Amino acid sequence: ARNTAPAGALVVSKSPSSGQFSTVQAAVDALPDDGSEQTIFIETGTYSEQVSITRSGMLTIMGETADTSNYQSNVVTITHSLSATAAGSDDLSGTLRVHKDDFALYNINVKNTFGQGSQALALSAYGTNHGYYGVGFYSYQDTVLAEQGAQYYGYCYIEGAVDFIFGQHGFAFFQRNTIASIGAGAITADGPASKTDVVINESTIEQSSAATEDLTGLVYLGRPWTEFATVAYTSCTLGSIINSAGWEVWSSTEPNTEDVTFAEYDNGGAGSAGTRASFATKLTSNADYTAAAVLGSDWTSWVDQGYVDQ
């Protein structure tokens, strides 16, 4: 459990007492931008706001919870409703926008409730050495933008329908997540302007309980935002929502499949069966898709190993 703030942390509360803050953004704005290591603790409640973080130095934000090990006991939610169309860009629509290196988020639900009709991000992550632990991310299209740098997602819940894990310059490793589709579409949309990797490891792919139709066979592991997309699912349990082709083209007029790496290794579940798309790869080894291979040899120095070794 994590019921009290660690020493020295700024505290956000729905009923703030002296020295506390009523919004997450107010606490972020109160931090010194001097490169020092800082912590924010958020008490139980729903905080309706958009949060932007740019300060230098390590920042950890923790949500109160009865169980730190995963997202299932989260009682802190940051929620906002904004489309990319209205905001002017994907990034600007994000409920949580992190434009900095050295960041960790624990046991908080992050939601963009805009719904269908436009991209609408829960998380816009621009930075390296980001760790997200026991976090719930909710939207419909473009839920999580892992845009640049090395990023680790451990024991998280990610919900969406269309391209809801995506990015162009990042190296993102998703470990023991639950990835839940709320509608038909592709889970990932990788589009590297430079070499990039999205690896989903030991995770469960399933239909969200909030889906309003049976999604059997209507969901794809990914589609290529650009022709050099690199995505791998390793040792995952794939539910029946996954189409037997596994992967799909970007569009009929712009397939983007000539140079993709869409790979699978040691997956199980009903969705792992079937004849995969001609541009997909079945791996005989995951050596190129481990956390160290994706995030760098120093990954153990910044990833919370408690979420690796559970």
Residues labelled as active-site residues: 163
Alpha helices in the chain (DSSP H): 24-30, 84-87, 291-295
Kindly write down the DSSP assignment for every residue of 282-299, as one continuous string.
E-S--GGGSHHHHH-TTG
Cα separations (Å) of 141 from 44, 187, 202, 211, 257? 27, 9, 24, 14, 22
Polymer length in residues for the chain: 310
Structure token digits, residue 98: 């992190």
